[in-house]
Amino acid sequence: MPADLLAKLIHNKFVISLLTVAAILVVRYILTTLFRKSSWPRQDIRRRIHTVHNIGNLAIVFALFGIWLPELRNFALSIAAFSVAIVVALRDAVQCLVGGIYQASMRSFTIGDWVKIGDQFGEVIDNNWLSTTLLEIDPHGLGNGYTGTTLYVPNSVFFSQPVKNLNFMRRYIEHTFVIVRENKGQNPFAIKKFITDCVLQYCESFKDVAERYCKLIENRMGVELASVEPKIQFSTSELGHDVLTITLFCPRESATEIEQKVTEDFYHFWYGNAGSKADPGHPAVPQLN
């Protein structure tokens, strides 16, 4: 029985560790005592005692590391496997968390801003560390029409999708639309003055406000925007049709209405006065020869 107990103690790593540490400390104590009783200069004695202590401490560390190396290896493998499992399981959450920190540091938008994240367009109504909530706006961005759909965008998309802050263009936008008409042997520039007068009339009511808002955007963003004056351009399509392109800086909610009015005037010009407006001050539709 005592032999079995002795064998177990010999193979017990805790006992081996204690004996090893004790042996190193005893050796260190003996050497230190011998150095102190020596006739060397005091400075040399201190230096040698310091060296013995350092070597003794290093020997303890290496001895314990050698004794417990197998257990440490298994523990390290277990920790590594556990860490990999945690990272794989929480990879998406970690990406969202890092994306939230990235967005917060960039300050690309705040609650209430209109943003476009990838192909998603909406108003930010909530933003936390993991996701951003958008109240979707109509895909064309015209008017204030909310679709009633709530979008939950994971913050990880900030690393892969562009983020556009459209808050400055929330009230006024640069709206561009085209009108295509088959050429029937007539000069398309004959309509330019008439359409220009129509567009200027529709923009007259908000022209001053549009100019001030454009200046505000320029001051905030530090860039020079194009003029608020409407732009009218003519071109041709691949099929040889006449293409009229109109660009105007107007209130967002009025963009569709103005587009419809200008389109109506365009067809009144080419196809007669039937049903044309009789509003005071509206440019008269000229008669074509």
Which domain CATH number covers 127?
Answer: 2.30.30.60
Residue 206 makes CB contacts below 8 A (sequence gap 6+) with: 250, 251, 254
Give the chain's domain count.
Answer: 3
Residues 228, 194 share a domain? yes
Q: 256 and 176, same structural domain?
A: yes
Which residues lie below 8 Å from residue 136, measured CB to CB, with a gap of 6+?
120, 121, 122, 146, 147, 148, 149, 150, 151
Look at residue 211 and tell me if it is in a domain. yes
Q: What are phi and psi of 182, to 5 degrees?
A: -70, 135
Residue 50 class from Cβ within 10 Å (0-12 exposed, 13-18 middle, 19+ buried)? Answer: exposed
Find the domain containing 254 and state its range.
171-271
Domain of residue 207, CATH code: 3.30.70
Instruction: Report d(CA 67, CA 15) in Å as an integer.
Output: 11
Beta bridge partners of 234: 244
The arrangement of strands across the sheet holding 163-165 comes to 146-154, 131-137, 120-127, 114-117, 163-165
Q: Indicate the residue among 141, 168, 195 that finishes a domain.
A: 168
Rounded to 5 degrees, φ, ψ at 245 are -110, 125
pTM above 0.95, yes or no: no
146 and 126 share a domain?
A: yes
Query: What are the pLDDT digits (tens) for 261-274?
Result: 999 999 888 887 54
User: pLDDT digits over 2-37, tens only?
Assistant: 656 556 656 677 888 888 888 889 998 998 888 888
Contact 122, 137 (CB under 8 A): yes
Cα angle for residues 192, 194, 195 (degrees, 5° grid): 65
Residue 36 lies in a domain: yes
Residue 141 belongs to a domain: yes
CA distances from 7 to 1, 18, 213 (A): 10, 16, 91
Give the model confidence (pLDDT) of 141-173 as tens digits.
555 567 778 888 888 888 888 888 777 767 777
For residues 186 and 253, state if they share a domain.
yes
Which residues of the chain fall below pLDDT 70? 1-11, 72, 75-78, 80-83, 85-90, 139-145, 169, 218, 220-227, 273-289
Chain mean position to CA 7: 65
For residues 24, 26, 32, 38, the Cα torsion angle rounded to the nearest 10 degrees is: -130
Q: Give the pLDDT of residue 10.
A: 62
| Residues 262 and 233 placed together within one structural domain of the fold | yes
> What is the C-alpha separation between 56 and 196, in angstroms, rounded?
95
- Supply the pLDDT for residue 41: 80
State residue 15's pLDDT score.
80
Q: Are residues 229 and 186 in the same domain?
A: yes
Identify whether residues 157 and 213 lie together within a single domain: no
Given 143, 168, 193, which residue is the final one in a domain?
168
Asked if 164 and 175 sit in the same domain, the reply is no
Q: What is the pLDDT of residue 245?
A: 93
